[in-house]
Structure 1
Amino acid sequence: MREFTVVRDDGYNTDGSDSSCDVAQDIEAVFANEADFGVLFDVDGVLARGSTPLTAAVEGIRLLKDDQGNLRVPVAFVTNSCNRSKDKAAQIQKWLNIQVTPDQVIHAPTPVKLLTEFHDKHVLVIGQEYRVEIAHEIGFTNVCTLADIQKAYPLLDMVDHENRNAVAVGNHPDDTNFPAVEAVLLLGEPTHWESHLQLLIDLILTDGKPVSGHTPADVHKVRQLPVIACNIRALGVNGPVWTLSVHCVP
C-alpha cells in the first residue's frame, strides 16, 4: 500500500519547520509511476473565497501539473450552487489556469440526472436565472415555468397586483389546454416567493391542473405531485420529496 506523509493544515511540521518541501517531495514520489487515482475538489471556500481564488489552492493545483502544464491526474469539482456547468467551468479555469470542461463540474442538481423516470414528464422548474437551461442540461425535456402557470391560470395569482389589475378589467379565462404539471423541480428559491408560493400550493392540491373538472373532490386525498428538491435547506412538504442525495423523504 502506498504511504503518504501527513502534514498539518498550517503548512508546518510538528517541529515547526516548513512542510511545503515535504509535500512537493511526496507528490513527486507518487507521480514517479503513472497515477491510479483522481482528485475531487470542493469549490466554495476551498478553492476560492467568493470570486477570489485562494493562493494555497492555486499552488496545490500547480503541484498536480506536469512540465507541459497538463494535469497528471483526473479531477472533478463539486459545488452546492445551481449555476450552469459551463459558467462554473469557465470560472474555475480562469482561477487555476487549467482546462476545465462542463462535465468536470458537479452541481447541486447534477444527481437529478439519475431520476430518468421524470425527464420526459411535464415538469414545473422553479429557480432563478437560467433555470430552464439548467433543467435541460440535467435531462428534462418538457418543462414549464411559474410564468407559464401565471399565464395559463391568471385568476390564481391575486398576490401580484399588476396581474390583479389586468384581470379586473378584462376576461381572462383559464387555458384548459395547458397540460397538467406532473412533477416540480426546485433548483432554488424563486425571486417572488409571495406570489409563486400560492401558485405552487394550488398545483399541489389539484394534481397539477387547477381547472374545473380536474379539481379533486377531497383535497386531503389528492395524489401529491413529486417534488424534486436541489440544495433546499428547509422543507415543509408533506409528501414525496426527492432531495439532493436522491432519497424519498416522507
Structure 2
Amino acid sequence: MKFLRNLSRVLPGSDSKKPKFGIICDIDGVITRGRNVLPAAKAAFNKLCDERKKLKVPIVFVTNAGNCLKSTKAGHLTNWLELNFSQLGKSMKPIDAIVLLGEPVRWETSLQLIIDGLLSKGYAEMPPSAVQYPHIPILACNMDLQWMAEASMPRFGHGAFLTCLEALYKKISGMDIIYSALVGKPSEITYYYSNNILISLAADLTTYPQRLYGIGDNIFTDVYGANLYEKYLHEKPGAHSSPSARVLDTIIKQEFTETQKLPESCCSILVETGVYSRKEDQKEHSNLDHNPRDFQPTHEDLKPKYIVKDVLEAVELIFELEKFH
C-alpha cells in the first residue's frame, strides 16, 4: 500500500521584492465546498499573482482529503483557480503494516478487516488462540472528525472512522490501539514537511521563508496544527511531549541539513467558509472534543491567531502584516 502525501505546489514568479514568508493553505472549506469553488478563492489567488499570472509567494496546499492522487488534486486546483499547479511528494514503499489514508466507502467491511489483522498480527486466515498484542504497526493520517462539502452541515471525515476503529478494537480486545505514527493535520510532522517544500519553492529567492501562515477552516486540524508547530518551533529540542512531536524530533535528527532551516513562526488564520462559523454559539461547543485520541490540546492550542471571513481576507491580512504588495 502506498502512502500518498496530498501536497501540491506552485512555482513563484520573479518579483523585485522577495517575500520572506510562505503560506500553507487548506483546500476544502477554504478554496472549495465540494466541487464548487468559493467566490473569494480566485480573487485571493489573483492577488497572489504578478501581471504574468505567476505566483509571487511560495505556497503549499495541504489537505487531509486522501480520496484521490496528487496528480488529480493538482489538476483540480489548476482548473479551479486557472493557474498552473504541479504536484510534489514521493510515495513510500509497501510495508508490513496497516496504513490508513482516508475514510472508506463501506466502513463496516474495512473495520472488520483491519481489526482482523490487528488481532492476529496480520495472519487473519489463522485465528489466534489469544489476542496478539502489541499488534502489527498501524499508521494513520488525515484525522479530521468532520470536513465541509456542498452539504449545509459538516460531513464525517477520516477521524470519525478512526474513532470507530479505536472503540471497536478496545471493546473486542480490552486494549488500546497503538499508532506507530499519526500524520496529516494537526501533526507537527506535516507542517515540517510543508516547510521543506516551501524552502524548495523559494530556492530562487533571497531568503528562506522565515514566517509561515496556515490558512484553514477547521479549529481542530488547521488551527490546532499551525499552533502546535508554532509551539514546537519555540520549545527546546527533546522537550516535546506530544507523540508526533517526538517522532519529528527523530526525523529532524536524522535528516536535518542547512537547507532545511526551521521558520521563526507559524501563524494560524481561520476562515469562516467551511467547518467553522462565527454565527454558531461557540460557548455551546467549547467543551466538545473533536480532536484525535492521541492529541490533547489546551484551550490556547485551539485559539486562532486571526479569524477572517474568507481566503481573500486571509491573503490581504498576510500582505498587511508582511508589508508586501
TM-score by length of 1: 0.51
After TM superposition, give the deviation of residue 189 of structure 1 in Å: 3.0
User: What is the DSSP-based 3-state SS (H/G/I as helix, E as strand, rest coil) of the residue aligned with 1:38?
Assistant: strand
User: Is the aligned partner of 1:223 residue 2:207?
Assistant: no
Inter-partner Cα distance in structure 1 for 2:51 and 2:70: 28
Change (3 A) 1:34 1:51: same
Trace 1:24-173 onto structure 2 (pairs within 5 A): 33-82=17-66, 83-103=68-88, 138-141=91-94
The offset of 1:72, in angstroms, is 1.0
1:233 aligns with 2:159: yes
User: Which of structures 1 and 2 has the bigger CA Rg?
Assistant: 1
Partner Cα distance (1:195, 1:49) in 2:
28
**2:103: which partner in 1?**
189
- Give matches, 1:191-206, under 5 Å: 191-206=105-120
Q: Give the SS at the match of 2:43.
A: helix
CA distance in 2, matches of 1:52, 1:211: 45
Distance 1:67 1:189, change over 3 A: closer
CA distance in 2, matches of 1:217, 1:52: 52
Aligned-partner Cα distance in 1 for 2:82–2:37: 11
Which amino acid is 2:85 matched to?
Answer: V
| Partner secondary structure for residue 225 of structure 1 | coil
TM-score (norm 2): 0.40
Q: Distance in 2 between matches of 1:33 and 1:225?
A: 51
Q: Which amino acid aligns with 1:78?
A: V
Which sections of structure 1, spanning at least 5 residues, go unmatched? 1-30, 104-109, 111-136, 143-181
CA RMSD of aligned residues (A): 2.7
C-alpha distance in 1 between matches for 2:39 and 2:105: 35
Supply the AA of the counterpart residue of 1:89: A
Aligned length in residues = 146
Structure 1 stretches of 4+ with a deviation exceeding 4 A read: none
- Does the aligned pair in 1 maintain the 2:49–2:56 contact within 8 Å? yes
For 2:130, the aligned partner's letter is D
Amino-acid identity (%)? 32
The structural deviation recorded for 1:205 is: 1.6
Deviation at 1:86, TM superposition (A): 0.8
User: Which whole-Å deviations, capped at 9, do the CAs of 1:82-106 have from their partners, x for residues lacking one?
Assistant: 0211111111111111111112xxx
Deviation of 1:211 (Å): 4.7
Give the equivalent residue in structure 2 for 1:243: 182
What secondary structure, in the 3-state scheme, does the structure 2 residue paired with 1:61 have?
helix
Measured in 1, the distance between the counterparts of 2:128 and 2:134 equals 9
d(CA) in 1 for partners of 2:115, 2:62:
32
Cα distance in 2 for partners of 1:205, 1:196 equals 14
What residue ranges of structure 2 are gaps of 5+ in the alignment? 1-14, 143-157, 170-175, 190-242, 245-293, 296-325
